Structure 1
Amino acid sequence: MSDCCKKPEPEPTPEVAQSSCSATKVETSCCPSEKNQRDYLLWVSGSIVLICYLLGFWFDDSDTLPRWLAVMSSGIFELMNKMWWGLAAAVVFVGLLERIPRELIMATLGRGGTFKGIARATFAGLLLDLCSHGILMVGTKLYQKGASLGQLMAFLVASPWNSLSLTIIMFTLIGLKWTLLYIGLSLLIGLISGVIFDRLVAKGVLNANPATPDDNSHEQPPAVWPELKKLFAAARFTPQTIGALLWDGLKDSRMVFRWLFFGLVLATAIRAFVPVDTYSTLFGPTLMGLLLTLVAATIIEVCSEGSTPIAADLVLRAGAPGNGFTFLMAGIATDYTEIMILKELTKSWKIALFLPLVTLPQVLVLGWILNQMPL
């Protein structure tokens, strides 16, 4: 089973899902993945969320509880009431996506070194419901199968929090306007970054992917749409298969829940222990607030699921939509796990360090522009 916290294998054997609705799933779970290993982060964070939710339901009078506990409980109660349907929809989407063979998604990438190939790689990332660490395993496989460096970077930058589940959760937290803006701008950064990396390769500044097919290759791409039609035609929709889909979606959403619950605890703890005035001053819609957000995103090592509630809090509580966007995107660009795996994959520190060098200036400029917009 793939473990996104370890160095990727040189060439993992691809696993193809069957074409039935009850098909065998492709494992995409983030660390820890061993069946016998207890997921302490999930259990501890989930228990805190459950206890605080019940306290928020039973004790709506803040005088009954210590102030910090009352703030955390009311915050988790409020956020969970907004997010519950998004979490339920995420379970369904994860179950559905697990039944689509990953190879069909990879086949949509097209040829590297072209804008069309970069655009297809960027949008392909939207189909995968993975965290910023989980997406690395798919990205490494894409690179090993011949994706260009630009396609790899576009895929990594635009994908992690743009998954269907997190998109729905972001919509429930900050609304349709900011969610669509965040998605559009992150895709823009992915496209621009992909083009820049492929140009740097063309000029010899960075090394090309040795597995990329030659321009003279006349290999016919797989017929994606006919395969998708066969997949859906073979699907069986019965109470048993639908139940299996929901159960698999719930199990495979463990990675989402783990980091999302942790992010909820962290975000509400910030609410409890950092006064609103101080929070707005430190992380408000100013240049200093933007830079402090960048520092925080660099230091705090959480998956995209954990970043989502914190980013929403920056929008709603600090009144800084640009800081929320910066926290999500800078966390991806400065993630040391991602940088180390890129170094191992490409055998180049230069390529790995060019990720933040290329993406961070774009993130900061767009974050500053978003901070000038009215909520």
Structure 2
Amino acid sequence: MFALFTRLADLTTYSLLGLDPGSRLAEAVHFFIEDTTKIFVLLVVVVFVMALFRSVLSPERVRRSLEGRSRGLGYVLAVTLGAVTPFCSCSSVPLFIGFLEAGIPLGVTMAFLITSPLVNEVAVVILASVVGWKLTVVYVATGLGVGLAGGILIDRLHLERWVEGYVWNIRLGAVAIPDGALGGRARIRSAWGEVRDIVGRIWLYVLIGIGIGAALHGYVPEDFLARVAGPANPFAVPIAVLMGLPLYSNATGIIPVAEALLAKGVPVGTTLAFMMSVVALSLPEFIMLRKVLKPAMLVFLAVFLSLSFVVVGLLLNALFV
């Protein structure tokens, strides 16, 4: 199925533009055209399908599905729902308050919020089309594991004191997340509206990511990346995580960069650690969560996620030698 995008890139790069197949420019242009067409087509299709799904599984229904569950089942449901309900940063605060005021434990709530940006169902489909299902399954399992571990650790350390006091004083139902019933046509209109909204918000990040990936693919020598981020450098994984901290992108936008890094021989663990750092340690998400979390909790989250990504990267590098 994806061969169509390769043929389109071949036609545009070599026939229409007349570029030399062996040149660095041709490699970069071919990468850019193929990934741009493939990612945006998949983006529209997957966002539309998942928007239809989310019109049934709304934030309020997610909250109700977690309410009253045992802690063990709550953790499993939290990371699972976090993986299939990637609500945007603007939903983080009402979701957080809604979960806690419904009596859902803080650890279960945080497990959901950690997993949601890491495991994005749109990005999962695109990632699978780029690097294959084997690495995609590894990425998903890793994201679920980090979310689960984070929630359990927060629960065991009893970090409720690092939640802003006003959150605990909100009465049940005071912060209701709308859960309106929609008919079939209304759901389709809503889904297309979500496509326009999401694609409209992230298209620039996606193009920037593809552009960076194309530059890496066409112009950065393999021996340079091998020296900086290859298995011979014992500090490659921590450096990759630190490099991801100041950057901001959603999972979809960073996939072309990860694809180019893997193609240049950067180890799997180093690449995925960098990808997770960019996605999960985003400044906008932390700014939103500051409204409900004290600085100590934000620092804890940043340290926990950074260390988790380093450990994951080192383990995956050891496994995928």
Q: Which amino acid aligns with 1:366?
A: V
Distance (whole Å) between structure 1 residues aligned to residue 198 and residue 38 of structure 2 = 18
- Tell me the equivalent position of 2:28: 72
Q: Is contact 1:322–1:368 with CA below 8 Å preserved after alignment? A: yes
- Tell me the equivalent position of 1:139: 92
SS at match of 1:300: coil
Across the two proteins, how many residue pairs are aligned to each other?
A: 301
Q: Is contact 1:201–1:207 with CA below 8 Å preserved after alignment? A: no
Is residue 65 of structure 2 the alignment partner of residue 108 of structure 1? yes
- Tell me the equivalent position of 1:163: 120
After superposition, give the CA deviation of every residue in 1:345-375 in whole Å (9 maximum; x if it has no partner): 22x1101100022222221111111112337
How much has 1:209 moved relative to structure 2?
6.8
Distance (whole Å) between structure 2 residues aligned to residue 188 and residue 264 of structure 1 = 28
Correspondence list, 1:1-375, <5 A: 55-56=12-13, 58=15, 62-63=19-20, 69-80=25-36, 83=39, 86-100=42-56, 101-111=58-68, 114-130=71-87, 134=88, 136-145=89-98, 146=100, 147-201=104-158, 206-207=162-163, 211=167, 235-236=183-184, 244=189, 247-254=192-199, 255-285=201-231, 286-346=233-293, 348-374=294-320
SS at match of 1:292: helix
SS at match of 2:20: coil
How much has 1:260 moved relative to structure 2?
2.0
Q: Is contact 2:123–2:252 with CA below 8 Å preserved after alignment? A: yes
SS at match of 1:107: helix
CA gap 1:271/1:153 in 2 versus in 1, 3 angstroms? same
TM (norm. structure 2) is 0.78
Q: Is contact 2:92–2:289 with CA below 8 Å preserved after alignment? A: no
CA gap 1:84/1:205 in 2 versus in 1, 3 angstroms? closer
Which stretch of structure 1 is more off in the superposition, 115-124 or 173-182?
115-124
Q: Which amino acid aligns with 1:236?
A: G
How much has 1:85 moved relative to structure 2?
5.5
Which stretch of structure 1 is more off in the superposition, 260-269 or 307-316?
307-316
Distance (whole Å) between structure 2 residues aligned to residue 62 and residue 292 of structure 1 = 36
Q: Is contact 2:92–2:288 with CA below 8 Å preserved after alignment? A: no
CA gap 1:334/1:287 in 2 versus in 1, 3 angstroms? farther
Distance (whole Å) between structure 1 residues aligned to residue 282 and residue 80 of structure 2 = 22
After superposition, give the CA deviation of every residue in 1:239-259 in whole Å (9 maximum; x if it has no partner): x975x4663353133134332
How much has 1:55 moved relative to structure 2?
4.6
- Compare the two structures and name the one with the higher helix fraction: 2
Q: Which amino acid aligns with 1:181?
A: V
CA gap 1:55/1:75 in 2 versus in 1, 3 angstroms? same
SS at match of 1:345: coil
Distance (whole Å) between structure 1 residues aligned to residue 219 and residue 52 of structure 2 = 40
After superposition, give the CA deviation of every residue in 1:180-227 in whole Å (9 maximum; x if it has no partner): 11101110110010011112226x77458764699xx9x9xxxxxxxx
Distance (whole Å) between structure 1 residues aligned to residue 187 and residue 149 of structure 2 = 42
Q: Is contact 2:226–2:266 with CA below 8 Å preserved after alignment? A: yes
Q: Is contact 1:89–1:165 with CA below 8 Å preserved after alignment? A: no
Distance (whole Å) between structure 2 residues aligned to residue 303 and residue 91 of structure 1 = 14
How much has 1:295 moved relative to structure 2?
2.2
Distance (whole Å) between structure 2 residues aligned to residue 190 and residue 69 of structure 1 = 41
How much has 1:80 moved relative to structure 2?
4.2
CA gap 1:328/1:369 in 2 versus in 1, 3 angstroms? same
Q: Is contact 1:113–1:198 with CA below 8 Å preserved after alignment? A: no
Q: Which amino acid aligns with 1:142?
A: L
Q: Which amino acid aligns with 1:180?
A: V
TM (norm. structure 1) is 0.68
How much has 1:144 moved relative to structure 2?
1.3
Distance (whole Å) between structure 1 residues aligned to residue 70 and residue 107 of structure 2 = 7
Distance (whole Å) between structure 1 residues aligned to residue 110 and residue 191 of structure 2 = 32
Distance (whole Å) between structure 2 residues aligned to residue 344 and residue 168 of structure 1 = 32
Q: Is contact 2:110–2:151 with CA below 8 Å preserved after alignment? A: yes
SS at match of 2:292: helix
How much has 1:343 moved relative to structure 2?
2.5
How much has 1:60 moved relative to structure 2?
7.2
Q: Is contact 1:206–1:351 with CA below 8 Å preserved after alignment? A: yes
- Tell me the equivalent position of 1:7: none
Distance (whole Å) between structure 1 residues aligned to residue 11 and residue 291 of structure 2 = 45
Q: Which amino acid aligns with 1:253?
A: I
CA gap 1:309/1:257 in 2 versus in 1, 3 angstroms? same
Distance (whole Å) between structure 2 residues aligned to residue 99 and residue 57 of structure 1 = 44
Instruction: Note the aligned Cα RMSD (angstroms).
Output: 3.5
In structure 1, list runs of 5 or more residues that go unmatched: 1-51, 220-227
